[in-house]
Structure 1
Amino acid sequence: MTTWHAIDRNEARAALGIPIDARVVVCHGRIDIHQKGLDILLEAWNRICCDRPERDLRLLLVGTGSDAKELRQRIATMELRGVLWVDKYVRDRTALWQYLSAADVYTLPSRHEGFPVAPIEAMACGLPVVAADAPGVPDILERGEASGGVVVPRENPTALALALGRILDDEAWGQELGKRARSRAQEYFSLEVVGKQMRDFLFCQKTQSGTSLQLSNLDKPVIG
């Protein structure tokens, strides 16, 4: 996606008040706890933090929705540390670039999806992705780590925590996955690539329709 790109990481973190040496997981989208698997994410985040008590870890949530109040209550009840939540709809592309650029890894813990665009936006910004195997996700990360991400089973906070933890613990590995993710986004999901696919499909349909019409005319009886 050539229109999506990262900005300077240090500048992004400075604007958001995130220390340079912190390790950051980001997730953006509608706050729908069940569909988006946010309960799974909170449990995974709790495990990640408990296993790394001395690390400066941040979970950056961006978005709002009908379950915003309940999510805030869950965060407070679980006494989660390091959660930074931008509780509003963010449609400004520059702002989204800033949030994504400040992170080390993107996560999508959803139970249900169609074809999610959010992880592709993150990949275009050079972020590795850890995502649950909701519909559409295996198509985006078709070759797993070779595509720049890790796909884990839905409803499994342990698997999500392990995959995220591995990237948080190994910065070099995360950066390598991020490079693969950006290449995957550019090669398969850029506006140019998708536009060509649509053009080819429509041209093929038009050609087939014209051929069918010509053939159907041959079947008509000649009246003379």
Structure 2
Amino acid sequence: MSISAPEATPKKLRIAFFIPWITKGRGGTENVGQMMANAMAQRGHDVHIFTFDNQNRPSVWPLDPAIRLHCLEEAEDQQANDRISVAVCQSNPDLIVGLHMNRTLLRYVRIARRMAVPIVLSEHIDPYFPQRIGMSSPLERLTAFQGAAKVHLLTESFRQTVPDYLQEKISVIPNTVIPAQRRADPAGPGKTILTVARLTARKNLSRLIEEFAIAARDHADWTLRIVGGGEQLEALRAKAAPLGLADRIAFEGHTDTPYRYLEQAQIFVLPSLFEGFPMSSLEAMTHGLPVVGYKACNGLNIQVRDGVNGFLVADSSRKGGLAGALSRLMGDSELRSRMGQASFEMFNELYSNQVISDQWEQLFLDAAAIPATVTQPGIEEVLAVQDAALPAALRTL
């Protein structure tokens, strides 16, 4: 489904988006990227999407017919960078927008610098998290930011990770999702708790199963539905069986249509401890579902107002905390209904396509008006020094 176009803007831009894996996967970064690109195309901007794919596959996301998709080679040597720069240059962009969450941002900056085109870097992860998984160092991140005209972050708290001399570059814009066409019924006859996530360790689903086992003791008619694929599937199945939950936990596998599950749910839970600004919980909000999670999870702790549209469990280390929050909702249909309505209203007020697309467009217009020669002083030299100090293994994108 496309994002509706508002009134025409006074200036039209030619925008080159770097969106990783848009021909290969349906992750959160790709989702945000396709919505950005579609929204700008529908507002009359000339949009090009560049992605890395040797097989020249089509986008797995629906794109506006006016958008041109360019598949670039999957190589990282200087010759490849030269060819990529030529390909981007042929689109003659007014602005480059690079979406990612690791050191690929440095590559985008190099390309923009060579073309003397302003660039917006859009970061799609909790900036505290990459240090835990080796994706990029704080110095690499700030080096890339130094070369940008503007930097897009997901929350105000993430702004605190950026030093004062870069603060004027920062724009905070949360995510949006496609609005629901059919709302859920939290107080309806169903008794389903839903989570939608990749089955990986950092999504904390093993803990969710433990917490559901506690809550389920007092609510025999409730089930947990886990939607998503990943390497932990068999381990999670094995976790559920000895707890007596084999017939009360449904593993639905990967899906490209999570909304059909959201329409049938009564409660949404996201047990992650690390996110950027999670899309799945926004999708729950547009469906009018109460949302439960941990207060420690950045992004989620902004979407959920504790006691208003869901519950945030303060102590993520204490067993039973998540179970208690789930149990309160499981046992009170009126509370589910009230919190679900609050979720729906908050989404429309704060995170709707119109609201967020307006902010994106203003960011892009502001960035395009900044001369690249002013915003990128000496960045090539900084990047060269930075690269020379990195082991070869760390330069892998």
**TM-score of the pair, normalised by structure 1:** 0.78
Give deviations 1:128-152, integer Å, cap 9, x for gaps: 10011312111222x3333x12111
Q: 2:359 aligns with which of 184, 187, 197?
A: 197
Q: Secondary structure at the match of 2:251?
A: strand
Distance 2:338 2:299 in 1: 23
Q: 1:135 aligns with which of 259, 279, 298?
A: 298
Distance 1:118 1:8 in 2: 15
Distance 1:117 1:8 in 2: 17
Aligned residue for 1:23? 191
Give deviations 1:37-61, integer Å, cap 9, x for gaps: 1121111111111233xx3111111
Q: Is 1:49 matched with 2:211?
A: no
Distance 2:229 2:316 in 1: 22
Distance 2:337 2:230 in 1: 31
Q: Counterpart of 1:79 in structure 2: which amino acid?
A: G
Q: 1:84 aligns with which of 250, 256, 261?
A: 250
Distance 2:256 2:317 in 1: 29
Distance 1:139 1:3 in 2: 19
Q: 2:310 aligns with which of 142, 149, 152?
A: 149
Q: Secondary structure at the match of 1:127?
A: coil
Distance 1:66 1:91 in 2: 18
Determine what percentage of the aligned residue pairs are the same residue.
25
1:155 Cα deviation from its structure 2 partner: 3.6
1:190 Cα deviation from its structure 2 partner: 1.5
* Structure 2 alignment gaps of length 5 or more: 1-175, 376-397
* Structure 1 alignment gaps of length 5 or more: 11-19, 214-224
CA distance 1:156–1:185, shift in 2 (3 Å):
farther
- Residues 1-224 of structure 1 mapped to structure 2, 5 A cutoff: 3-5=178-180, 7=182, 21-32=189-200, 34-52=201-219, 55-80=220-245, 81-86=247-252, 88-92=253-257, 96-132=258-294, 133-141=296-304, 143-146=305-308, 148-152=309-313, 153-209=315-371
Aligned residue for 1:219? none
CA distance 1:7–1:206, shift in 2 (3 Å):
closer
Q: Secondary structure at the match of 2:277?
A: coil
CA distance 1:24–1:204, shift in 2 (3 Å):
same
8 Å Cα contact 1:6/1:97 also seen in 2? no
1:161 Cα deviation from its structure 2 partner: 0.7
1:156 Cα deviation from its structure 2 partner: 3.6
> Between Structure 1 and Structure 2, how many residues are aligned?
194
Distance 1:155 1:200 in 2: 41
CA distance 1:3–1:112, shift in 2 (3 Å):
closer
Distance 1:107 1:198 in 2: 29
Give deviations 1:22-41, integer Å, cap 9, x for gaps: 42100011011x31111211
Give deviations 1:94-122, integer Å, cap 9, x for gaps: xx222111111100011222221100001
Greater relative CO (CA pairs within 8 A, separation 6+): 1
Distance 1:173 1:21 in 2: 15
Distance 2:327 2:335 in 1: 12
8 Å Cα contact 1:125/1:182 also seen in 2? yes
Distance 1:196 1:5 in 2: 20
CA distance 1:131–1:172, shift in 2 (3 Å):
same
Distance 1:170 1:6 in 2: 26
8 Å Cα contact 2:228/2:254 also seen in 1? yes
1:208 Cα deviation from its structure 2 partner: 4.9
Q: Counterpart of 2:249 in structure 1: which amino acid?
A: V
CA distance 1:206–1:22, shift in 2 (3 Å):
closer
**TM-score of the pair, normalised by structure 2:** 0.45
Q: Secondary structure at the match of 2:202?
A: coil
Distance 2:321 2:181 in 1: 28
CA distance 1:123–1:157, shift in 2 (3 Å):
farther
Higher helix share: 1
Q: Secondary structure at the match of 1:51?
A: coil
